[in-house]
Amino acid sequence: MREYTKLYIDGAWREPEQGTVLELTDPATGEVSGRVALGGEADVNRAVAAARRAFVSYSRTSREERIALLERIADEYERRADDMVEAVTAELGCPRALSRGMHFAAGLIQFRAAAEVLKTFEFVSQRGATQVRKEPIGVAALITPWNFPALQPAGKTASALAAGCTVVLKPAQLAPYSSIVLAEIMEAAGVPAGVFNLVNGRGSVIGNALSSHPDVDVVSFTGSADAALQVSTAAAKTSKRVATELGGKSPQVILPDADLNVAVDTALTWLMGNTGQICSAPSRTLVPRERLEEFLEVLVPRVESLKIGDPREDGTHMGPLISAEQWQTVQHYIQEGLDAGATLVTGGPGKPDGLDSGHFVKPTVFTRVTNDMTIAQEEIFGPVMSVITYDSVEEAVGIANDTRYGLAGYVTGTDLDAARDVASRIQAGYVIINDAEFDWTAPWGGYKESGNGREWGPDGMNEYLETKVVLGS
C-alpha cells in the first residue's frame, strides 16, 4: 500500500501543518490502495511563500538554464516511466497499456516540447523605438483534474517553468499518486527549492486558498464548470489571471461519404478510451439517416468485443470508472436516456457480467436520440454514445454547434475539402478529421463554456507571461 503522508514544499518533503490523511481505494477492486496527506490553508501559505521567494532568482534565469532544467526533468521522467504507469493505473483504474501509451507518453512529451519551444521563443520584440517584452508573471497555481493525472500536471508545470514562473500544484484529490511521483522527479532533477511545490488536498480548501491568495499571480484550472466558477470568484478579489479548460459535449460528424471503420476508430479511441472519462469525448455521434443501420453494423460488434476488466491484465481495453460516485453518475445518465425514449442498442444499466467488484460500467450506445435530450446536452464522463441522425450537412453542423460547450469536434469524410469545410464551421477549439494523430503540443482549449485559456506549446507558455512595453529603447 502507498503511504504519502508528507507534502513537497520548498525543496523538501514536509509534514502538513494542518489537514488530514485520506485513504484512497483502487477503482478496480474497491480495496484501499494508499494513504495520502491532505494539506490545509497553512500549507498553502508555506508553499506560496516558498514559490514567491524562489521566483526572485528563478525568473532571472537564462533561456539556456531553463532548457537544461526541462531536459533534466524529461530525462528523469522517462527514467521513472514504470512508476508513473503504475501510479496512473492505481489511481485511475486505467489499463496499463493506456497508462503507458497515452498518459505517461503525453506527460513526457510536455517537458520535451517545452524545452524545444523555449529554444526559439521570442521574449523581446522591437517595433521601431518601442520594445515589447514577455516576462514571467509570477507564482502559478496549477489545479488539475483526475481524468488525466499525469498529463495535466506535466503540461501546466512544463509551460510555467519554461516561462520562468514558480509553481504550486494541487492535483485532484482522487488521483494524487502520479503528481507525487512528479514531485519526486522534480527533486531528483535538481529543480531549485521553492520552484516547484506540491500541496494535496480538497478543492474547497486548497483550491480556494490558492485562488484567493494575494501572492499567486495566475491560476491554471482544469475541471468542472462549477469548480471553475468558484476559482474565478475567489481569484477576482485580487484581479489575478485565470485560465480554464472545462467540460465538453463534443460532436462527431460522420459525413455521407465517410469510411465507417474510420468513424468507429474515432469513437473507440476518444469516447470508449479512458472509460469515457475524457472531456473532449465525441459523445454526440451525428450520422446520416440513410447510413444509420450500416454504421451500427460496424460499431456494435466492435463495442461489444471490448475486453473490460482488470487494468493490470494484458489485453484489457477498458478499466473501471474512477469512483463509486462517478459510477452512480453514469448510471443516472443511462437511466435518463431510457426514460427519455432513446433506444438502447448495447450496454445499459448495471455492471458487466462477472465484474461485481470495482466501478465497472458497460459501454453503452443509444440511438433515436434528439439533441434536446439530457444525454445529448450534459457531460456524462463515461462510455455512453448518443447517436443522432441528420438529413443534410447543414443540419448536422447546426446540431453540432447546438451546445453550450465547445471543446472539441470530430469529422469523418472521404472528401477532405468537404470535411475541412465542416471542421471550419464547428465552434470548438480542437477538431480532428478522420481520426488524425493527436498533437500534444498544439494549443489545447475550448470555446464557449469549455474555458478561456490554452495549454501546451507556445500558446500554453503565453498564459504564464506578462507583457511589458519599454519606450525609447
Positions marked active-site? 245, 279
- Secondary structure of residue 259 in the 3-state scheme: coil
For residue 444, the 8-state DSSP code is: B
- Asked if residue 433 lies in contact with residue 419, where contact means CB atoms within 8 angstroms, the answer is yes
Please give the radius of gyration of the chain, using alpha carbons only, rounded to the nearest integer.
Answer: 22
CA 70, CA 27: separation in Å to the nearest integer? Answer: 33
Residue 128's alpha-carbon distances to 311, 349, 372, 467, in angstroms, are 59, 66, 55, 17
CA neighbor of 245 nearest in space, from 147, 324, 323? 147
Bridge partners (DSSP) of residue 4 are: 36
Number of residues in the chain: 473
CA 174, CA 253: separation in Å to the nearest integer? Answer: 34
What are the helix and strand counts (H, E) for the chain?
16, 22
- Asked if residue 365 lies in contact with residue 346, where contact means CB atoms within 8 angstroms, the answer is yes
- Asked if residue 428 lies in contact with residue 451, where contact means CB atoms within 8 angstroms, the answer is no
CA neighbor of 447 nearest in space, from 281, 286, 280? 280
- Secondary structure of residue 68 in the 3-state scheme: helix
Residue 271's alpha-carbon distances to 251, 263, 397, 422, 425, in angstroms, are 11, 11, 20, 20, 22
**Quick one: residue 219, left, alpha or beta (phi over 0 = left, psi -120 to 50 = alpha)?**
beta
Count the Cβ atoms, other than its own, within 10 Å of residue 360. 23
- Asked if residue 38 lies in contact with residue 180, where contact means CB atoms within 8 angstroms, the answer is no
CA 231, CA 233: separation in Å to the nearest integer? Answer: 5
CA 66, CA 119: separation in Å to the nearest integer? Answer: 10
By the 10 Å C-beta count (0-12 exposed, 13-18 middle, 19+ buried), 282 is classed as buried
CA 236, CA 232: separation in Å to the nearest integer? Answer: 6
For residue 289, the 8-state DSSP code is: G
Phi, psi of 303 (to 5 degrees): -65, -45
